[in-house]
Structures are given as structure tokens and as C-alpha cells.
Structure 1
Amino acid sequence: MSLEKNHDGRGTLPAPGRVEDVRRGNLVRVLAALAQARTDPRRYPTRADLASLTGLTKASVSSLVAELADSGLVTESGATRDGERGRPGVGLELSTRRGVVGMEINVDYISAGVLDLGGTLRAHRTLECGNRGQPPGSVMALLAGLVSDVAAEASLAGIEILGGVLAVPGLVDTATGTVSSAPNLHWQDVTLELDGLLPAAPLGTVLHNEANCAALGELWYGHGQDFRDYLFVSGEVGVGGGLVIGSRLFSGPRGQAGEVGHVVVEPSGPDCSCGGRGCLETFAGQEAIFSEAGIAPGAASVRLTDLAERLVAGDAAATSAVERAGHYLGIAAASTARLMNLSAVVLGGHFTRMGPWIAPAVLRSLADYAPGVVSPSRVAVSELGQSAALLGAAGTALRSVLAAPHSLTPAGQGPSGS
């Protein structure tokens, strides 16, 4: 869809009420209903089901489905019968022949994965590399190669890429594709060349914060099924956070809410990479935990494995380091829960491998500093591990596709299908 420009160059929605605008809105309604209706893996929703869910007439739904099928977003999946009587309807599903790419740049790795419109991860690759202090252009070139590999794998499976989202650990401006501040990467006010990642994709690539993407990954594919309101804490080299309220990400007026890693938990604590001191990250970030546990410098994956082995063996220094991190993590979670009226905490990233040792320490702090606010049954360890941000990024891209079906050309007829 071509948007009119206002005085500051930003796109504005066309004036409401026009017939084409109503139809565009109805296309989105049908896609949203189709995405939500597939709860029984043995049964695909029919046109009649979609009419009931959206309140549109069966004729309107049939016309809209035909348009969505032409765009390659919806396919028919055989007959579906509700009971013994009546003619069976034709089941519908979101196409597995079109997809999106989730991408992540972190301090010690990059990753990319292809998610089809049905929500299945079809290709996924991770490359360990030291990105701290590296020129953004060099890291983006490396990521472009990885994206090219997963896109080629998707192409062999007959999947057409429509767009993507890149997750970066730092404060970002999504509208301009700028990393405002990523202390652990040593990037400041860097505008990334996003167009080179998916040059043929009609919806392009959008930049998002890594912790917010991880929180969304948890919402859509993890404990979001159990909790409507929670703090997601993502442990990597640093510590990120995402706030989910009413099953929606809350990112604040400038998109920077949830920076729990830089909540001050010890005013007299050590200096932090953000320029402050005593931040949670200085106690619960990877380097802080490794140093406290006496683990020598090296590749992060090797050090995490070493830490996990020491924890299992009952090593006193490793156990103390993780419990110390959990203590301060609980302090930050207690303050956040009180301030935002949250009732659950989910631990992700590297905290998943420390779960049996760090979760009890978090619970003790919550009981001390916010008694009765977060019950023990509502402190969970994510099962998504390192893939949470990637899944959240891909899921965000997928939802962008479902929110803008009118912007896509019929399958195989546009630039992305050439």
C-alpha cells in the first residue's frame, strides 16, 4: 500500500471510509481469525468458520479468501467435517510456502531463521563470533551471508521470503533503523544498512530490541500461554528485559521500557558499561557470573558449559556466583513487579541453563523484598533458551505480513517471486 506523506516525511494512513480501506481491514480480520482459529491440529477452519468469527457474510469471506490465496498467504487443506450431517467444508490454513526471517546480532554470536506463515521454524543457523567493538558494517556483512544461507535453504523448500526483523541488544529506533546505544557491542548512534539483508523481500527488514523480541517469543511460543502479565529477563553478555502486560508487549513511549539490566540494585556497586554503577548487569551478566565463579576467559558457549558442569558437580564458587546473581535479579524483579503491578517473572537466555540454582535465589529475594506480589508458582524458567529472540523477531515479522496483506503482489508475480 502506498501511504501519503505528512510534513515530517512519515507515512500516514489513508482517510477512513473508502471502499478499498474497508476491504483492506477485512482482509486483516480474516487473516487474524485464521491465525487464531487453528487450535485443533486435526481440523482446519473453513470459510463458514471465518464468517462466524469475523461477523462477515460467507460471500464476503469467500471473496477475501480468494484474494488472500492469490497473494499466496492462504491455501486450502482438504475437506473438513464438523459432524456426520451436511456437506464438508474446505479447510484453510496460512501458507507454508511463504515465510519471514528472524535475525539476531548479539555480542558473541549472530543467528538467522526462517519461519513459515504457519509458525513453523523451517531453517535456523547460528554463527559464534566476537562482535564487541567490531565495525557495524563488518557484522552486518557477516549476518547478510548467514541470511543468504537460510534464505537459500528456504528457497529449496519452495518458501518465498516476504520480510524480516533484526533483533539487537540495545536501545533502538525502529523508525530509522538506528541503534541508539548498545554498550556491550560498543555501538552508539549507528544507523544499520538493513536493505542489504533481504533485498528482494517486499516488506524489507525492520530493527527491534533483542530483549523485547525475546519477550514476544516467550509470549507466542512459551509461558505467554500461562501468564498475561510478566517481566521477561533475558540473560546474555548483558541483561535485557521485556514487559508483557495484558498479553501485549509494553515498550513505553520511546520504545525503551523494560531495561531491567540497568536498574540499580546496589548503589555502591561496580561501574557498568552504560556509564552508571551498581546495575543488575554488573551482578547477573555473563562476565560477572563467570568472574565470580572463577571461570577463565574464553568462548561464551564453552564457559557456559563449564559453569553448568560445575553447578551439577556442586562446585561452591559456581553455586555462590549463580545464587548471588539470582539475589540481585530478584531485587530488580521485586521493584519492577511493584512498579508495574506484574505478577509473574520468566527467566530466559543463559539463565535457562542455571534454572535449578538461580530460580530459588530469585524466589528468596522476591519473598524478602516483595512478599505476596509474585507467588513461587509464577516464577518460570523459559524453555526457549537462546532461540527466544530469534523466534520473537520472526514472529514480529510474521504479524507484520498478516497486518498488511494488501501490500503483497500475487504469489510469484512480484519482485520476491522472481
Structure 2
Amino acid sequence: MSMLRSLRIRLGQTEVGSLFALDDGRCYFRFDDAYALLGPQRPVLSQLYLASTEERTLAQLLDPTLAVNRGDGRGGLPPFFQNLLPEGQLRKHLIQRAGLAPDDEFGLLAYCGRDLPGDVSALAEELDERGMGRLLGQGHDSYEMSSGQLPVPGGESLSGVQPKLALVKEAGGRYVMRSKDSHGSHFIVKLPATDYPNMPQVEFSSLTLAAAAGVNTCSFSLEPLSAIADHLPFGLRNDASRFLLVQRFDRDAPTPTGRLHMEDFAQITGTAPGAKYVGTYAALGVVLAERSTRGVEDVYELLRRIKVNELLGNFDAHLKNFSLLYYTPQAASLSPAYDIVAYAAYVGGDGHALAFLPGQKGKQLLTPAILRQLANLWRLPEARLQAVLVETVDRAMTHWPALIDSLPLTEAQRARLLAHLEANASVVAWRRRAARKKSVSGAEGA
């Protein structure tokens, strides 16, 4: 007898479909016919499911054998749902707290299902015989039709690798751990990391510098650990004293659920979390140009973030560090930046997490030759892209020196970051331009 567990997937208040797992490790997602038949006005679960025409989109949504809706056959979820799950230390903590097997992704999604990123929820559902037959009888494989259903627990959580906790801010300014009945602004706490000293301070500094260079960042602040009233579930460094508080831009929204939907580019491209370093910045730009309501302005913002990451030595800007935020059920644009870390404050090195272009290796720098190829792929004037880079570097070099002196970095971190910055080819070129301007100005004043 086959046994299955099933979760009802909702996007806001809209019923979307069923995610179900069989006891042999196979997992599938199936859209509801009613959702598919809503037409072009249906809320968008993911750009992954949008085709070039409505006819093709509908065919995909109604296809019970759609490849991206299948897990890996060994207990793994389909990629869109895998990328809703937490990673790293937070994942281990939640698995232990929920009493799950380490590879039980379905159980972890159920445990996290009431507070997933964006506006997706995954709640236990009970299937009648007809509903079970629809799920089991029309898939790519043949199943034993004598089947039963297992109960599924429910719960909470966040995605990400760095230790995080969700907080709400109560009246009086006291931060407390998230609870189901809390009201108020929602935040994410990024706690000190065991591997990197001073991480909250470095990330606060990185976001501050990025904003000064023109990047659209999330709202953030640096707070004392003593502001968190409840006991922390993670072992922290002995020297830990601060945490980074990030306001959730997918919460506290004027929508029926109080949420905005969002998806990262691993979800958009159907990429498993373990392959988040596979992909290209060129592909991200194409999606933004074609799918974002801001169009080329978001491509320019992407380029700005790429340059800032390079200047900061952020070698880890992978697919999950860029997201689309849905301001309406159908319309999305590039979300504020939320995960920028100046790793140059810790280690040396150059390059970017993703390749810029198809067939290219990662860890490349943004060179004029690469910019020319990006301009061709994005069908944008190279001169306009170059102007974005020049403006970004100019803003950085105008504001960063004084900021770096004032930010909560250690002297060693400050020195490493400045050394990395001064070695960047764009900064060297900026210094030359500044020297020429000074020389010309001095000559005119003589």
C-alpha cells in the first residue's frame, strides 16, 4: 500500500495546488485546474511557470508530468519549494526541534508552512478518494491505487544560511521572538556567526556602504543582543554583542494576508539550492528586462549591485541573493538588496559568485570586454551601462572613505577592506580621473 503526505499550497488567499510526497521518496507538485483556468489574471506563483503565451502557460500549469514539479526521487522537493526552506544552522535547529529526519524536506516545509518567505503557505490537507486519485493516477509514473494518507504537522520558519530569528517589535520598542498572535512590524534578526567575528557589524557596514553608492537596500539597524528578550537557540561567539535587525519587506503589507509575495532567482530559474552558484548574471538581467515592471531600470540596479559587490569583496552573491518582489499579484520588480557582506574585511580574493556569461567560469571581475557582451545580450547601449558603473564608483569613492572610518569595523577589517578597494581597477581609474581634474583645475586657477 502506498502512503502519502499532502500539503495545500496557497498564494495569499488563492488556492494554487497540492504538494504531495510518497513513502518511497518521490515528491510532486500539481496545480489545481481552477487556478490554471483563472487566466492571465491569476496570481503569479513563480516566473518559472510563465511561458511566452497564455496558451503555453496554461498547458504547463495543467501538465501533470511537468519536470520542474518533480522532486529528485530521494525525498527532495521540487526546486521552487526547496528554495523556501532554511539552510545551514537554522535548518539543523528546526529539524531537531521538529523531530524530523535530516533529509525530510517535506516534513520541514510542513513545519515551516505558516511563515514561509513571501506570501506562500503550505498547510496540511486531507484528501478524499477523488482528490487522492487525481494526484496519484495522472502523474508520470504508475502508482498502486490502494493508497492511504499520513497526517502532516504544521509550523513556522525562514529561509537562509546565517543564523536568523523572526522578531516582532512590540509597543514600547521591545523585540520579541515571533509568535502566531503577534502584531506589529516584522523583522529578521541576523545573529553573530561562529565562523566570522563581528559579522553583524560587517554586514551593517556593508549595507550602509551599498546604500551610499546608490543601491536600493532593505531597512536595517544594528542592535545590542540584550534587546532580545527570549533565550537564543544557537550557541554564539563569546565576543558576540550585536545583531543586525532587518525589516521584512515581504511583511506588513496592505494586502488581505499582510504579506507580499517574493521569489529568489533560484526559484525563478528552477535551480536547486545546492546549485545556487550555477547561473549567470546575464540571465538575471534578461529576466529583469523582460519580466520586471521597472524593466531596464532594474537591469541598471543589478549592474550597480554587481559593482558594489566587487568593490566590497562580496564573493557570495549567488542566485538566492537576488529576488523579485510582487507589488501586485501579477507585477514584480527587483526587491531591495538584503544580503551584502564585505568578505574582503575577512579574506583576500577577487571575483563574483556567478559567471557573467554562458560558458564562462565564476570568480571573474567585471571587465570592459564583459560589459560589452552584457550590453549585447541585454540589448542596451554599452555607454549607458558604462555610465551606471562610473556613477556607482564615483558615489562610492566620494562617500566611502569617511564612512569606513566611522563604521563599527575592527582596525584589521578596515585595513583589509580599504586595501581591497584601492586595488580595484575601477578605483584606480577613478583616482586617475580625479588627479587629472585636480591638475586641470589647478592650471586654470594659476
Structure 1-normalised TM-score? 0.26
Query: Which structure is higher in RCO with an 8 Å CA cutoff and minimum separation 6?
Result: 1
TM-score computed with the length of structure 2 as normaliser: 0.25
